[in-house]
Structure 1
Amino acid sequence: MGHIFSKKPTSKVTEQDKAVLQLKTTRDRIRQYQKRSETNLEKDRQLAKQLLQNGKKERAKLLLRKKKFIEEQLNKTDGTLENIERMIQDLEFAQIEMKVVDSLKVGNESLKQINQMLNIEDIERILDETEEAAEKQREISALLGGGALTDEDESAVEEELDALIADAVQKQLPDAPTAADNPEVELPDVPETLPAVEEEKEKSKERVAVAAS
């Protein structure tokens, strides 16, 4: 039952709201007065005609004077209504302007907080890291995709691979004499099986061919 005794949120009614409400109430009362007075004017007009028909000229004249006074009052109320309507519009527009200003203040404060959270150095570092990651991804995609290198690049790769293979073979036979050093030395027969490095080169070529297909 706690919710029964809970306090309802109070609405924020400003002084401007009260002023607008009071002006609208006054405007409605003036309109009601005008409507009632116009109805009475028509009745007085008809009554004045009846009095003239009955020969009561002075009473008819008195009634017409009353009618004239009411008409002048109605003319004044027209001007009053115009001023009230203008004031209501000015106040309501001023309230809108205040809400706009308040919204701008809130937005400005939020923007300041966001700017304080963002550091230029951190942003530059993140952008650099993002660019590096993207560049690395492009390199990986190019290698996996195959065919991304030009013919000149492929030739350079083959040359570098041949140099590595030759260097590996040379290291496997460091003390083997050559025909130029001793023509009488009999050179060993060429092995029928390829060295491990040569086999790896062949397998690499086969993988590249399969990826390109």
Structure 2
Amino acid sequence: MGNTSSSPVVTAQDKAILQLKLQKDKLTQYEKRTNNLLKSETLQIKKLLRENNKTGAKVILKKKKYQQSLLESVSNQILNLENMIQNIEFKLIEKEFLKGLTQGNSVLKKLNNELNVKDVNELIDEVNDNIEYQNEINDLLSTSIVGKDYEDEIDEELQALENEVIVKTMPDAVKTEIKENITEVKEETQKKTGVERKQKQEALLA
């Protein structure tokens, strides 16, 4: 299958930035060559002075001064180009930001038109009422059913464990008889607790 992705669109702004960068590169290369030339001319001037050729040294020095003035102008042009490129790129970013902001504002406005404040408030109130009602039911169940029965079960289990400890210290014949009695009591207690819990739940839900 072929590549279906589209090529990036080159805009007029992209072309302008490219031209500015190319011009800046040319000036930077010129600046580098001129600096190297100035260093070479400085060495020539010193050599001529050592040879007592002040006239020749003066000619090269004048040429050097002129090139330095050109170099200063080139440096300013490079700086101006850099500022211009940065300004254009920033404006493009700013443009995209404003475009995104406009689109986001349009979507937000559309969503606000679809949402009715009154309907939202009614929905929130209904949800809060349901949560409050459920919390009330949970509180009733935890206090009236779980609370007392849970404490009763703890007391009964504690008593059973205590009885088992006591039984271990008794003769085997007595142990057997007591264990049978404890088992019967446990079964009756569990049945009674289950019936009472069921009755309380039915009473609450009635």
What is the TM-score when the length of structure 2 is the normalising length? 0.59
Give the drift of 1:36.
Answer: 0.6
Please say which of residues 67-76 and 85-94 is displaced more in the overlay.
85-94
**Distance in 2 (alpha carbons) for counterparts of 1:138 and 1:87:** 66
The answer for the alignment partner of 2:94 in structure 1 is: 97
Identity %: 35
Aligned to 1:207: 199
Q: Is the 8 A contact 1:20 1:88 kept in 2?
A: yes
Measured against aligned partners, the alpha-carbon deviations of 1:91-149 in whole angstroms (never above 9, x if no partner) come to 2222222122112112112212221231223323322332342343234334433449x
Comparing 37-46 with 17-26, greater Cα deviation is found at 17-26
Q: Which deviations, in whole Å up to 9, do the C-alpha atoms of 1:65-101 show, x marking residues without a partner? A: 3222211101111221222222222222222221221
C-alpha root-mean-square deviation of aligned residues, in Å? 3.4
User: Match of 2:122?
Assistant: 125
In the alignment, is residue 136 of structure 1 matched against residue 133 of structure 2? yes
| C-alpha deviation, 1:37, in angstroms | 0.6
Correspondence 1:27 to 2:24: yes
**Which stretch of structure 1 is more off in the superposition, 87-96 or 65-74?**
87-96
Change (3 A) 1:123 1:41: same
TM-score (norm 1): 0.58
Cα drift, residue 59 of structure 1: 4.4
Unaligned ranges ≥5, structure 2: 146-194
Distance, in Å, in 2 between the alignment partners of 1:103 and 1:119 is 26
State whether residues 146 and 208 of structure 1, in contact with CA within 8 Å, keep that contact through their aligned partners in structure 2. no
Shift of residue 51, structure 1, vs aligned partner: 4.4
Following the alignment from structure 1 to structure 2, what is the Cα–Cα distance between the partners of residues 145 and 55?
112
Q: Where do 5+ consecutive residues of structure 1 fail to align?
A: 149-202
Inter-partner Cα distance in structure 1 for 2:66 and 2:39: 14
What is the aligned length?
Answer: 155
Q: Which has the larger radius of gyration?
A: 1
Aligned partners of 1:9, 1:116: CA distance in 2, in Å? 36
The alignment status of 1:115 with 2:107, answered yes or no, reads no
SS at match of 2:43: helix
* Structure-2 residue corresponding to 1:161: none
Q: CA deviation at 1:42?
A: 1.7
Cα distance in 2, alignment partners of residues 135 and 34 from structure 1: 78
The answer on 1:38 being equivalent to 2:24 is no
Map of 1:63 onto structure 2: 60
Taking the aligned partners of 1:135 and 1:128, their CA distance within structure 2 comes to 10
Give the aligned residue type for 2:22. Answer: T
Match of residue 184 from structure 2: none
If each structure's helix is expressed as a fraction of its own residues, which one has the higher value? Answer: 2
